[in-house]
C-alpha cells in the first residue's frame, strides 16, 4: 500500500484519496479472492446517492517479498494514471473448456481517468 497515493485505511487493503484529480476523494482497494485478484477504484455519485465503480482490473503480484507493487500511479506519455501488472484468470466454462489466453496477461497496462465517461480507461501497454 505504500506506493498508492492517499490515506491508508488501517487493517484493510484500501486507501482513500483524490486519484483522478477531480477534487473529490475516491476509494482504492486491492481485492484478493480465491479466483483471482482485482484492483477497484470507486467514488460517490451525488446524483444517485450511491457508490459507482470507476474500474475493476485483474492483477497479479510478481514477487510478494521484493516487488514491484502490482500497481504504480504515474505520468505516462503526458497522462496521469496508473499501470497494473495485468493478469486475467478465466474460471467459467464447462468440462473440457479451454479459455483463450488474454493477450494483456503478464504486461504492464496503463489506465487514465476519462472525465466524460466517469471511469478509468485502458490506454495500452506501458513500453519502457
Q: What is the pLDDT of residues 40-60, one digit of tens each?
A: 999 988 888 999 999 999 998
106 compared with 102, residue with greater pLDDT: 106
Domain ranges of the chain: 7-125
DSSP state of 87: -
- Per-residue pLDDT at 69: 87
Q: pTM of the entire structure?
A: 0.86
- pLDDT tens for residues 45-102? 888 899 999 999 999 888 888 778 899 999 999 999 999 999 987 666 666 666 677 8
Contact of 27 with 42, CB cutoff 8 Å: yes
Q: Is the pLDDT of residue 122 over 60?
A: yes
- The 3-state DSSP class for residue 121 equals strand
Q: Peptide bond preceding 68: is omega within 30 degrees of 0, i.e. cis?
A: yes
Could you give the CA distance from residue 128 to residue 44 in angstroms, rounded to a whole number? 34
Amino acid at each position: 500500500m505504500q506506493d498508492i497515493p492517499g490515506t491508508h485505511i488501517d487493517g484493510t487493503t484500501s486507501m482513500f484519496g483524490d486519484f483522478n484529480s477531480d477534487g473529490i476523494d475516491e476509494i482504492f482497494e486491492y481485492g484478493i479472492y480465491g479466483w483471482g485478484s482485482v484492483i477497484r477504484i470507486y467514488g460517490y455519485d451525488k446524483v444517485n446517492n450511491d457508490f459507482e465503480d470507476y474500474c475493476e482490473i485483474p492483477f497479479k503480484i510478481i514477487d510478494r517479498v521484493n516487488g514491484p507493487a502490482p500497481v504504480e500511479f504515474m505520468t505516462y506519455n503526458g497522462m496521469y494514471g496508473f499501470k497494473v501488472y495485468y493478469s486475467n484468470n478465466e474460471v467459467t466454462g464447462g468440462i473440457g473448456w479451454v479459455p483463450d489466453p488474454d493477450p494483456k496477461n503478464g504486461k504492464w497496462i496503463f489506465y487514465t481517468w476519462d472525465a466524460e465517461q466517469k471511469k478509468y480507461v485502458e490506454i495500452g501497454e506501458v513500453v519502457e
